[in-house]
Amino acid sequence: MRKIIMFSWVCLILIFGLAIYTWLQLPELEQYPVHWSGDGVPDRYGSKTEVLFALFIIPLSAAFTFAIFAYIPKIEPVRASVAANTRPYTYIWALMMVLFVGISGFVSYSYANIEASPDMAQISISFLVIAMGAFFIFIGNIMGKFKRNFLVGIKTPWTLTSDLSWDKTHRLGGRMFVSAGLISMASTFIIKPEFALYILVGLSLAITIFAFIYSFVIWKNDPNKRK
């Protein structure tokens, strides 16, 4: 865990540094966009001070994510599962921090080119969908490696009380996440960015609901389930 913690600190310093640097380098305008509608059109403007608060949403979210990932292993009730899932857990943790760095960098680039790129909001949505699609593909590829635990994975009452339900749900869920990631990424080149975002969210909800039901069906037919 020491390496991933050090890596996370480096990412946090970079993310906070980017936010501060971007704010200091903002072009002088009367108002700046600080919020966008679902279709990527600015619907609220504010002062330079308000931009500072908007820029710090990502760094603070990254810091909160760091704290959660660092703390969860300490409260894992099944201590043996911590060691068994260390590799996939740290992979997800590292990818989350890299994702925050990427989003932070793109937000900084967007504000730096706010005058020259009026369509930057649309581009930002496409970037977000592609980044999350890649994240889904990565998660899907390692999901089958998770051992039953309370740390990571598809945790339902049935996957946690049946090894068969855990294994089958994660294998199928992994394939579904990969498919969702590929579909979402491809959609950004075919349809409007905001619709691609809706597809990403819709697929995420569909996978969640299906995995919940599927884990119960497998658990119900598992003769070795824990009651």
Domains of the chain by residue range: 1-118, 120-227
- Read off the pLDDT of residues 127-173 as tens digits, 9 standing for 90 and up: 888 888 998 998 888 888 888 777 778 888 898 888 899 999 999 99
Band of residue 185 on the pLDDT scale cut at 50, 70, 90? very high
Instruction: Please state, in angstroms and rounded to a whole number, the distance separating the CA atoms of residues 87 and 178.
Output: 19
Instruction: Please state, in angstroms and rounded to a whole number, the distance separating the CA atoms of residues 126 and 194.
Output: 8
Band of residue 78 on the pLDDT scale cut at 50, 70, 90? low
CA distances, 223 to each of 2, 162, 218, 226 (Å): 41, 9, 10, 9
Mean pLDDT of the chain: 82
Instruction: Please tell me whether residue 45 adopts helix, strand or coil conformation.
Output: strand
pTM above 0.85, yes or no: no
Band of residue 39 on the pLDDT scale cut at 50, 70, 90? low
pLDDT score for 155: 86
Compute the CA torsion angle 156, 161, 164, 167 (nearest 10 deg).
50
> How many CB atoms are located within 10 Å of the residue 173 CB?
24
Q: What is the DSSP letter of 46?
A: E
Band of residue 28 on the pLDDT scale cut at 50, 70, 90? confident
